Amino acid sequence: MSHSPPIRIAIADTAFIIRKGLRTLIAEHPHFECVAEASDAEHLVEALEKQHPQVLIVDHCCDDCFSLNVISKIKIDYPGLNILVISHEKTADEIKKIIGIGIKNYLLKDCDEREIIEAITCCAKGVKYFCGQIVDVILENELSVKEHCETGGITSRELE
């Protein structure tokens, strides 16, 4: 049986408690290793250059820190890096913006441990992963758009 090296993970979040929680969860999993963490974009770039993680767990939050522009630039500058966005953002428009820049892995901050572990594992393998809540929002939005776009045409018999 071959022993594969742990998945090297960097965490980027402005909130200390989120970084600490993710770091603790990662430490409890034998196939994961936290190699860096950053509370702002500048420190994140330094960590990526020094530590070369396989997975970046990044908070998509405010426009002045881990904004879509910052995440998009990291995606371009580090094309081999698998990015898992973790956010509190639940609106369909914001979710679409994140997916629109090429993010294939997205969790909400209130996901449970199982979903976080699955998301990290899928992200490391380059497999898409969206938590159940994200899928629900996307599907709900798509279904409501289709329902509103359908014309309620009536037949001539109904018109009579």
Q: What is the pLDDT of residues 5-50, one digit of tens each?
A: 999 999 999 999 999 999 999 999 999 999 999 999 999 999 999 9
Strand partners, 37: 11
In angstroms, the CA 78 to CA 122 distance is: 18
Segment 134-146 mean pLDDT:
75
Q: Is the pLDDT of residue 150 over 60?
A: no
Torsion-angle region of 6 (φ positive above 0: left; ψ -120 to 50: alpha; else: beta): beta
> Residue 60 in contact with residue 85, Cβ under 8 Å?
yes
In angstroms, the CA 125 to CA 4 distance is: 13
Q: What is the pLDDT of residues 115-128, one digit of tens each?
A: 999 999 999 999 99
pLDDT level of residue 63 (50, 70, 90 thresholds): low
- Tell me what pLDDT residue 2 has: 54
- Tell me what pLDDT residue 144 has: 62
Q: Which of 37, 43, 77, 83 is nearest to 60 (CA)?
A: 83
3-state secondary structure of 7: strand
Contacts of 39 (CB under 8 A, 6+ apart): 12, 13, 14, 16, 19
3-state secondary structure of 8: strand
3-state secondary structure of 86: strand
